[in-house]
Structure 1
Amino acid sequence: MPAPGSAPTRLGFLTTGPFDPVDPATGLEEALRLVELGDALGLDTAWLRPDHLRHAISSPVAMLAAASQRARRIGLGTASIPVRAENPLRLAEDLATLDLLSGGRLRPGLSVGSPKRVAAVDRAVHPTTAEHEEPGRERLLRFRELLRGGRVPGADERPDGSDDEDDDDAITPTVQPTSPGLADRLAYGAATLRTAAWAGSHGFRLLASDVTERGSGGGSGFAADQRALIDAYRDALPDPAAAHVTLALVVVPTDGATAEQRARYRADAAARAERAARADQSEGPGAVSSMVRAPDLVGPSDELAAALLADPAVQAADELAIALPAGLPAGDLARILTDVAEHLGPALGWSPATS
């Protein structure tokens, strides 16, 4: 575990790849250019946050396959793939192929999905079998077992019932291709103490975000609640040396921004805060949501670094992923990413990767 008061040793960024539905190609291309920029700036990981049935990245495997051929060094992560919408065997084939094409740079993150959207996505993906589908975490464990070389169900059965091992129609007993070590890089996206402990007890890495379980840290606010989640994960790990925590927060340095950009940054942060407040109120009159969201941090890098270094959740993370606001234009996102690498990172004690 990182030492108290220390900063994460790795610095990355996260994007949802938002696009205009009238011209989605431009938005997807802009997301790929951000990955290329992050690679050139020496950032450690580019994380894509996929979702289904939204104006944003829905096919992270296709996007990262393209990115892997344009950015040659940076790690490539998903934060996170909603596993209930996936077939474990097909996903294992896709991710193993992608990992091999990228030279072992893939950092897959998976989760059950947003509780408010799981049922709707289930009905969309499995319109006639949704109620019979394998639960998300069981599906995730089966996926990992396939990545590790576990036998494919039915692989011992010959399609024509013969015993001919040279039969061209015979299927291999394991997923192909295989990518050694990929299964050990799987991370689970958790937002509650229970799911974080599950991730730890099953030996996954942890993805944590700017949303966590309210009050889990004793009522002292988001940072304490998120630190409690990370501690629950680490406490549950059978092998503490295998722990790895990536924490994604919206942090917007303003060092190189124009006055117009700074105004947009702050207006976007205010709009996000207003949406979060409305979401709380939707729970009912006087009700308080069971989840709490971290406020966006906007300002000069020296001020942001001081706040982050004092944050107990950041102190417990191995990697900080700067979540880029989806409501800003591409030029602003490139400016933010540059300021992250050139100003915020050094203020945190981070150094860019060179190879």
Structure 2
Amino acid sequence: MPLPSEPLRKLGFLTIGLFDGADPRPGHESTLEIIELGERLGFDSAWVRHRHLQYGISSPVAVLAAASQRTTRIELGTAVIPLGWENPLRLAEDLATVDVLSGGRLNPGVSVGPPMHYDQVKEALYPDSAEVENFGYERVRRLLDFVGGEPATDFSGVEGIEVFSDRVEPHSPGLRDRMWYGGGSLNSARWAGENGMNFLTSSVVKAEGPDSEPGGHDFAGIQLAHVREFRAHHPDGAAARVSQGLVVIPTDSATTEQRAKYEAYAAQRLPRTTSPQGPARLLFAPDLVGTSAEIAERLYAHAAFREIDEVAFALPFSFDHEDYVQILTDIATNLGPELGWRPAA
């Protein structure tokens, strides 16, 4: 439980990797430069979001393969890959390949559920099997088995001059232990714990339980319940890994113009934090904008933050490259130390 006397153990960041559809290379290059900067600043991990048919990273595994060749130490994660778009066997091959290339630094985060706008995309994605695809937890189980080295076929051996394996190759020992589930509900937290995964919890949760009753929309309390549910069902109990991904925007070295931009961004998004949104009753956490000392004080008052010791703070979606440089620099040099963290060598 991180308190002012108990240091934050791991500090990471998360970026969406926006790009211009007419000229996509600069945006991807910016993402790679931000990851390189994160390593120089001593961050423990860098995570990328996943977006399909949008102007954000559509192939995080490919981007992290590139990042693995431009860094040497920082851990590289996905937050998260929606498995409804993926074949678990093929994804297992890609993940293992990048893990080998990175020297064992990959932290794949995944989630389940039907692809967004499924009715509009299913004919392109699954033209022959759209109505029978299973988008539940079984898809994660298959991925975990393949990553862990379980047989993918009953055939192996030599055929002519070719040698075949019965498991996904390359096999990367240790990758299974670095698989994360991105969840925002009690059910997903429980499932992740029961299946021995790590747990990613972000700035969005499903409003459920006593803390979600009218007049009691307590984001921190709901998120805390998810963390405890996960650990209650995980073999490692209280030692099971949880990473929290709130949006934090420190302003210590920001210009006057940047501060105004950040405050306007947070104010625009604030109304969605006051009550559950949509049929899924999603509750959003407020963005934390202010000096590092002010943000640290708010984090120590956050019930869920007090029960984790690693974070991957989310960068805002639509800022400029120089804004991300300022925010990451302030997180590493000011906010991290306020939370007791020390940069990696």
Q: Deviations over 1:74-107 (max 9, x none)?
A: 0000001111211111111111110111011111
Cα gap change, 1:138 to 1:114, in 2 (>3 Å): closer
Q: How far, CA to CA, are the matches of 1:35 and 1:263 in structure 2? A: 26
Could you tell me whether the CA contact under 8 Å between 1:246 and 1:321 is conserved in 2? Answer: yes
Q: How far, CA to CA, are the matches of 2:274 and 2:2 in structure 1? A: 34
- Find the counterpart in structure 2 of residue 179 from structure 1: 172
Of 151, 161, 171, which residue of structure 2 is paired with 1:168?
A: 161
- Find the counterpart in structure 2 of residue 286 from structure 1: none
- State the aligned residue count: 340
Q: Which amino acid aligns with 1:271?
A: Q
- Find the counterpart in structure 1 of residue 21 from structure 2: 21
Could you tell me whether the CA contact under 8 Å between 1:217 and 1:227 is conserved in 2? Answer: no
Cα gap change, 1:347 to 1:114, in 2 (>3 Å): farther
Q: Which amino acid aligns with 2:220?
A: A
Q: How far, CA to CA, are the matches of 1:207 and 1:113 in structure 2? A: 16
Cα gap change, 1:232 to 1:75, in 2 (>3 Å): same
Deviation of residue 3 (structure 1)? 5.8
Q: How far, CA to CA, are the matches of 2:262 and 2:167 in structure 1? A: 49
- Find the counterpart in structure 1 of residue 294 from structure 2: 303
Cα gap change, 1:170 to 1:80, in 2 (>3 Å): same
TM-score with structure 2 length normalisation? 0.92
Q: How far, CA to CA, are the matches of 2:38 and 2:2 in structure 1? A: 27
Could you tell me whether the CA contact under 8 Å between 2:2 and 2:309 is conserved in 1? Answer: no
Deviation of residue 127 (structure 1)? 2.6
Could you tell me whether the CA contact under 8 Å between 2:10 and 2:44 is conserved in 1? Answer: yes
Q: What's the secondary structure of 1:132's corresponding residue?
A: coil
- Find the counterpart in structure 2 of residue 70 from structure 1: 70
Structure 1, unmatched stretches of 5+, are 157-163, 284-288
Cα gap change, 1:315 to 1:72, in 2 (>3 Å): same
Q: How far, CA to CA, are the matches of 2:300 and 2:276 in structure 1? A: 29
Instruction: Verify: 1:330 aligned to 2:321, yes or no.
Output: yes
User: Following superposition of structure 1 onto structure 2, how do residues 192-211 of structure 1 map, counting pairs within 5 Å?
Assistant: 192-211=185-204
Q: Which amino acid aligns with 1:245?
A: V
Could you tell me whether the CA contact under 8 Å between 1:17 and 1:57 is conserved in 2? Answer: yes
Q: What's the secondary structure of 2:12's corresponding residue?
A: strand
Could you tell me whether the CA contact under 8 Å between 1:12 and 1:44 is conserved in 2? Answer: yes
TM-score with structure 1 length normalisation? 0.89
Of 220, 224, 229, which residue of structure 2 is paired with 1:227?
A: 224
Could you tell me whether the CA contact under 8 Å between 1:44 and 1:74 is conserved in 2? Answer: yes
- Greater mean deviation of Cα atoms: 5-14 or 258-267: 5-14
Could you tell me whether the CA contact under 8 Å between 1:68 and 1:102 is conserved in 2? Answer: yes
Could you say what the CA RMSD is over the residues aligned between the two structures, in angstroms? Answer: 2.2
Cα gap change, 1:150 to 1:66, in 2 (>3 Å): same
- Find the counterpart in structure 1 of residue 268 from structure 2: 271
- Greater mean deviation of Cα atoms: 344-353 or 144-153: 144-153
Q: Deviations over 1:80-139 (max 9, x none)?
A: 111121111111111111011101111110101577545555454213312222334211
Could you tell me whether the CA contact under 8 Å between 1:83 and 1:136 is conserved in 2? Answer: no
Identity of aligned residues (%): 47
Cα gap change, 1:122 to 1:12, in 2 (>3 Å): farther
Q: Which amino acid aligns with 2:164?
A: I
Structure 2, unmatched stretches of 5+, are none
